[in-house]
């Protein structure tokens, strides 16, 4: 199957339509602890947080105000590629329909961080993560539905992103705001990648209503997430 001939001529336009999804996302929650080590009072911490915020790239413009956790990925152009984004392109918002799948995706990148850092390869990283749920609604394509599921092997490659980046580029040229796809870290689980921040919104009750704190223990051999008696663990 050739990328241009099959995807652009036969698959792209018929597979585009309005879709919605609730998706969990996990982010590292170390920023407050990190700045507390540098200050002696709440006022100093507030000032330091303001200075740090001013040093970051601007948040993207949206039709309506959005919670910063919905917009943060779009303000950066990461040097490393992701599944649907080439290196140095504008960031994208990734989430998963099930909380377990969101944990699995974060676990993969925790281990990758250790493997890519020479000084950390024999270390144990302990981090705290915030998981929250957001509502996605906009023009979309579902790579788990026909005809896209015929090429499932391409979309679920472990670390070869050529096919997924190509289909994402074609989709965005046609006004697609987000894609649904199968997780490569939790087989059968539905994930989402959002290109347009305007199709993201807080769920009923607000983002804080779904916010959960999880603790992560990561080594190059395993990653574990815990929250009270709940536990998810992966061995590599």
Task: Tell me the pLDDT tens digit for each residue of 103-156.
Answer: 999 999 999 999 999 888 899 999 999 999 999 999 999 999 988 998 899 999
pLDDT beyond 70 at 10? no
Q: Give the list of residues 6+ apart from residue 118 with CB closer than 8 angstroms, or none.
A: none
Tell me how far apart the alpha carbons of residues 96 and 200 are, in angstroms, rounded to a whole number.
Answer: 14
Give me Rg for the CA atoms of the chain.
19
State the average pLDDT over residues 210-223.
96
pLDDT beyond 90 at 165? yes
User: Poorest-confidence range of 9-23, 144-158, 197-211, 214-228?
Assistant: 9-23
pTM of the model: 0.87
140 and 190 Cβ atoms separated by less than 8 Å: no
pLDDT at residue 200, rounded to an integer: 97
Count of residues for the chain? 236
* The token pair that represents 206 in the structure block: 């607000």
Closest C-alpha among 133, 151, 128 to residue 96:
133
pLDDT at residue 186, rounded to an integer: 96
pLDDT at residue 119, rounded to an integer: 87
What confidence tens digit (pLDDT) does each residue in 26-70 have? Answer: 999 854 444 445 545 656 555 545 555 555 777 788 999 999 999
Tell me how far apart the alpha carbons of residues 102 and 159 are, in angstroms, rounded to a whole number.
Answer: 17
User: Poorest-confidence range of 57-61, 158-162, 206-210?
Assistant: 57-61
The beta strands (E) that lie in 99-162 are given as 125-142
| pLDDT, averaged across the chain | 88
Cα dihedral 40, 45, 46, 47, rounded to 10, equals 90
HEC-encoded secondary structure of 72-101:
HHHHCCCCCCECCECCCCCCCEEEECCHHH
pLDDT at residue 1, rounded to an integer: 45
Closest C-alpha among 64, 70, 81 to residue 23:
70
13 by DSSP, 3-state: which?
helix
């Amino acid at each position: 199957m050739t990328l241009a001939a099959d995807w652009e001529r036969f698959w792209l336009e018929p597979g585009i339509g309005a879709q919605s999804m609730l998706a969990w996302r996990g982010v590292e929650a170390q920023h407050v602890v990190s700045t507390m080590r540098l200050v002696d009072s709440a006022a100093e911490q507030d000032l330091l947080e303001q200075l740090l915020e001013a040093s970051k790239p601007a948040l993207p413009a949206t039709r309506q105000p959005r919670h910063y956790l919905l917009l943060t990925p779009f303000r950066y152009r990461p040097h490393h590629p992701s599944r649907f984004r080439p290196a140095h392109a504008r960031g994208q918002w990734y989430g998963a329909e099930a909380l377990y799948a969101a944990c699995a995706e974060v676990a993969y990148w925790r281990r990758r961080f250790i493997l890519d850092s020479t000084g950390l390869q024999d270390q144990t990283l302990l981090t705290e993560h915030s998981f929250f749920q957001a509502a996605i609604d906009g023009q979309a394509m579902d790579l788990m539905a026909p005809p896209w599921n015929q090429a499932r092997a391409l979309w679920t490659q472990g670390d070869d992103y050529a096919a997924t980046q190509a289909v994402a580029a074609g989709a965005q040229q046609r006004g697609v705001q987000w894609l649904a796809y199968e997780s490569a870290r939790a087989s059968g689980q539905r994930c989402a990648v959002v290109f347009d921040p305007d199709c993201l919104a807080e769920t009923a009750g607000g983002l804080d209503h779904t916010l959960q704190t999880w603790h992560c223990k990561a080594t190059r051999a395993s990653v574990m997430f815990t929250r009270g008696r709940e536990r998810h663990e992966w061995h590599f």
